[in-house]
Amino acid sequence: MPALNPVLERLRGGLIVSAQAYPGEPMRDPRTMDQVAQACVAGGAVGIRAQGLADLALITQHLDVPVIGLWKDGHDGVFITPTLTHAVAVAATGVQLVALDGTRRPRPDGRTLAETIAELKAARPGVLVMADCGGLDDARAAQDAGADVLGTTLAGYTGERPPTDGPDLELIDQVAAIAEVPLVAEGRVHTPAQAARAMDHGAFAVVVGTAITHPTTITSWFVDAVARR
């Protein structure tokens, strides 16, 4: 892999924590997410992934690790930073990387992924792009479209890959074999052992969300285990 952008170099081999609360949830408050993000950095996270302009505006002020920002609009189809307008607004919060839907599905504003990336970079020079992919063909296309980072974020959510129990290691292998840019393993990494396995399979860094920052889900795992006895 050629010499990397210094922002990406800071993420190499590390854990990125995704701190997101969903609409209507008790922790859906920018101050709360900012505090959660700070707590994760204190624990050794090399980067933070976060959602929404208000959360990002606070988090970028208080953290000195790279922040991957996104804006979820809706919950099906293309909803992760779906348009150029969303992407430019996310970049304007001061994040170093913008995560956007990196699938081959039509985007709501009619732009291709390549056009979106080129226009975002023209509007916000220096910003990096993480493409959230659902499968190998997405990853290949996103790399060709100019993505700086490939993520397995949408594996199991777009119909291209079955939802695996744990990270989609087969997809990580496949993407690692074609990636000329960093591959970030994201999606259903629920244990430290799974995070380590994703690295062993060729990930450049790993994103963990739910298992660190979503107490409702984590609690339900324990509740179910207790209820089974």
Is position 153 an interface residue for ligand LRY (rule: CB under 6 A)? Answer: yes
CB closer to ligand LRY, 102 vs 209: 209
Query: Per CB under 6 A, which of residues 51..110 are in contact with ligand LRY?
Result: 70
Q: Which is nearer to ligand LRY, 35 or 210 (CB)?
A: 210
Backbone angles phi, psi at 126, to 5 degrees: 95, -20
Q: CB nearer to ligand LRY: give 91 or 189.
A: 189
Taking the complex as a whole, the smallest distance from the CB of residue 208 to ligand LRY amounts, in Å, to 5
Nearer to ligand LRY among residue 149 and residue 189 (C-beta): 189
Is position 164 an interface residue for ligand LRY (rule: CB under 6 A)? Answer: no
**Selected binder of ligand LRY within 11, 16, 17, 18 (CB under 6 A):** 18
User: Where on the chain is the footprint of ligand LRY (CB under 6 A)?
Assistant: 18, 20, 70, 153-154, 157, 186-189, 207-211
